[in-house]
Amino acid sequence: EVIADPLLLRVMTASMRETVRVARRLGIRFGTVQGVTGRVLGLLGSAPLAIGAWFPRLLASRMGPVPNPGSTLQSIRRGHLTEIDFLNGAVVAAAAAGGLTAPINEQIVHLVHEVERSGAFVAPAEVVARVAV
């Protein structure tokens, strides 16, 4: 659903691009993900968002036609805490440890914690309004 929504796809791509940029600045190298080499994945850090969106689309296409909700969504649906602090939160923490910032990932972490606390999902338009891309 995120990938099908052009505005949410933009937020997702921006968070991935920010992650790659932080990793580069910290000297972290990527392995292969879904057949995409770390070197190619590294291009996501410098690609415009419209071009960088190929990566999440590629990942989705390789998952097949059966709906595959992410683990964060599965946790929220069960009323459990998510692993957001170990995903996007890890990017925020690594950036801070290296004297950098990761504002997009940080905003996503805040939104997910808000949903965990309230049990109420945030509408896509609100996500886009609150996550500065």
Range in 35-39, 49-53, 105-109, 115-119 the model is least confident about: 35-39
Place of tokens 């949410």: 8
**If you ran DSSP here, which 8-state letter would residue 84 be given?**
G
| Average pLDDT value for residue range 103-113 | 98
What tokens were used for 52?
């960088």
The pTM (predicted TM-score) of the whole model is 0.92
* Rounded CA separation 3/1 (Å): 5
pLDDT of residue 35: 84
